[in-house]
Amino acid sequence: SVGFKQDVPQEQNVFLEDPVMVSVLERYLPEKVLNEISPDLIQISDWANTEGAVLTARMEEDQPRLRQYDSWCRRVDELLVTEAWKKQKEIAAREGVVAIAYERKYGEYSRIYQMAKLMLWTSGSGLYSCPIAMTDGCARVLELNGTQEMKDRVYTRLISRDPKKFITSGQWMTERPGGSDVGRTETQAVWDASRNCWSISGFKWFSSATDADVTMLLARTHDPNPSAAPGSMRDGSKGLSLYLANVRDEEGKLNGVRIHRLKDKVGTKALPTAELELDGMIAQQVGDNYRGVKNISAILNITRVYCGMGCTAAMQRFILGVKEYARRREVFGALLKDQPLHLATVANMELQYRATSQFTFYCIAMLGRIESLDNNLPQVKDQDIPLLRLLTPILKVWSAKNAFAMSQEAMECFGGQGYMEETGLGRAMRDVLVNTIWEGTTNVLSLDVLRVMAETGGDALNLYAETIRGILSPLKDQSQWSKSVKSLEDCLGLISHHFTTYATLETRNLLEASA
Ligand code: MFK
Ligand code: FAD
């Protein structure tokens, strides 16, 4: 057709095009490590734009389906996922997206390397980042609390780079009476002496990775003591234990699971999220009896950092896309990039992205140091544990709200085209939105922050104040700072101020470097 044709925004190698990411990595990684991992970060960014983009499009077009009955009306509950989804599993193994964190080749820096790679991989992963997050969390639980048998049989495969060995894990917590309030769990675990295992029955209301090989799940434990009255259980969350189960047996038959139905979701369409009925699922207990919530919290604390990483990755794509379009779209006689008001909008988005990426990697660096504690490396700081415990729920909440707000700004920056499905912004907006809900909603995580404050008698907050002393001049006097924090809003406001200050300092450094 004749007439105007818009100069098309081009895909970019995100790692090479984003000075913010490089600068954040420079802050946390020794030069030698950054030099060594950079080629891998460049190649994964290229992959996300090429094979990753093709696979993601296929996964979106051909969404998971459930074939519940065969032609003879026998219940089969066959979950049908695309070849593209299966291929993602293979790629995840080969690229070591879980393995890097556990091989610990770079000691405390391994987590930073892994999360940087995940950030660049995630846009091409078509939501496979979700099972990867849960797999990583499961690996951490088994590393901390698994028996040697669980480590040999399961853990080694969760962290394998061999696609033939690599397995993924689910995380089944949410039930119909309560997702936030898991103390209302109805699912029960009964000791089966004849099979020397636990037998689990109940109903799990959300299972994101229904094609996972194994799963971690919570269930209310029947008192295994032979002298206990049959069926005796404890109420609330103090009656729950953590279990590990194979989802299918070696022939692919479901292990006491019926797939009730697949969820019809607002976004994350490529992800096979299902409702599951459990009837005699064979499982092993992980960690102590009745410590289920505490034991599964190691997964929550990993997957919540993944949410931070995933939101940062989405924001990175939004800002790079918006800037690329602003270089090509002309309005009222000037490119968008030269229109002051548009520039102000983009600058604000850029600051949000920078602050979020600073915050995310600040937490990831701590996670890496804590995990290297297992190897007794000397550089671990004791303060990291309470600090990360305090900051993880805040990161999750803050990044999720920021990323969704930014998805709206990004859409608007593309004008009417932004609202078209073909630009992918609608999908990105729907997908990023879920981060406000899964792995804990905003208010539930706000209460988690208060839980940490109560449990540590304010020590975690004081540690934080100490850590940022000197960065924020008005807050130099720690005692004053602690006094000024009277509410959760104050706490969030100050943390936001801290990372926005980091982002501003970083902007100054970048400007000086480019001058
Ligand atoms: C790219 C991103 C991909 C991400 C993929 C995600 C896929 C989606 C998967 C899901 O959504 S899985 C379901 C996620 N579900 C949640 O996040 C549940 C949200 N609800 C909460 O977090 C509640 O606060 C909680 C379930 C923990 C409340 O349980 P309780 O038992 O009523 O709380 P309680 O009694 O305060 O805590 C029990 C113990 O756990 C306490 O320790 P003690 O018994 O020793 O005192 C707490 O300190 C401890 N605890 C709770 N949260 C903790 C924790 N410990 C460490 N870290 C935490 N986060
Ligand atoms: P509720 O807990 O009923 O929350 C409803 C509202 O009440 C929320 O606004 C919440 O903030 C508020 N609220 C709750 N408690 C309080 C309180 N004390 N004070 C103030 N407000 C409160 N779960 C899994 O276990 N495994 C999965 O794989 C999984 N995958 C998911 C995939 C998707 C796409 C989605 C959307 C969810 C998934 N979930 C999964 C479930 C998710 O973790 C829960 O939906 C979430 O934790 C909230 O629980 P709920 O749905 O029961 O809501």
Rounded to the nearest angstrom, the distance between the alpha carbon of 455 and the centre of ligand 1 is: 14
Three-state helix/strand/coil letters over 188-246: EEEEECCCCEEEEEEEEEEECCCCCCEEEEEEEECCCCCCCCCCCCCCCHHHEEEEEEE
Query: Which ligand sits closest to the CA of 298?
Result: 1
Residues 331-355 pLDDT 10s: 999 999 999 999 999 998 998 998 8
Let me know the angle formed at the C-alpha of 330 by 328 and 331, rounded to the nearest 5 degrees.
150
- Backbone angles phi and psi of 499, in degrees to 5: -75, -30
Among 238, 257, 290, residue at a domain's last position: 290
pLDDT at 505: 64
Of ligand 1's listed atoms, the one at least distance from the Cα of 131 is: 5
**Kind and range of the H or E element at 57?**
helix 51-61
pLDDT at 504: 67
Of ligand 2's listed atoms, the one at least distance from the Cα of 443 is: 11
Whether residues 140 and 223 fall in one domain: no
- ipTM higher than 0.95? yes
Whether residues 174 and 316 fall in one domain: no
pLDDT at 476: 44
Let me know the angle formed at the C-alpha of 268 by 265 and 272, rounded to the nearest 5 degrees.
80
Let me know the angle formed at the C-alpha of 456 by 450 and 457, rounded to the nearest 5 degrees.
85
Whether residues 33 and 127 fall in one domain: yes
Whether residues 300 and 322 fall in one domain: yes
Rounded to the nearest angstrom, the distance between the alpha carbon of 445 and the centre of ligand 1 is: 9
pTM of the predicted structure, to 2 decimals: 0.94
For the chain, which residues score pLDDT lower than 50? Answer: 379, 473-482
Instruction: List the CATH number of the domain containing 223.
Output: 2.40.110.20
Q: Is the dihedral of CA 46, 51, 53, 59 positive or negative?
A: negative
* Ligand 1, pocket residues at CB < 6 Å: 129-130, 133, 171, 173-174, 179-180, 182-183, 208, 237, 293-294, 297, 300-301, 303, 306-307, 310, 438-440, 444, 448, 451, 455
pLDDT at 216: 98
pLDDT at 132: 98
Within a domain: 5:
no
Whether residues 132 and 177 fall in one domain: no
C-alpha 442, offset from chain centre: 15
pLDDT at 475: 41
Query: Which ligand sits closest to the CA of 448?
Result: 1
pLDDT at 224: 83
pLDDT at 374: 64
> Letter for the amino acid at 369?
R
Query: Which ligand sits closest to the CA of 119?
Result: 1
* Ligand 2, pocket residues at CB < 6 Å: 171-174, 178-181, 206-208, 265, 268, 273, 434, 437-438, 440-441, 443-444, 447
What residue owns the CA closest to ligand 2's atom 27?
207
- Alpha carbons 188 and 233: distance in angstroms, whole number: 9
What residue owns the CA closest to ligand 1's atom 21?
180
Rounded to the nearest angstrom, the distance between the alpha carbon of 463 and the centre of ligand 1 is: 23
Among 290, 322, 338, residue at a domain's last position: 290
- Alpha carbons 142 and 492: distance in angstroms, whole number: 33
Total of domains in the chain? 3
Q: Which domain holds residue 197?
A: 169-290
- The DSSP call for residue 261 is E
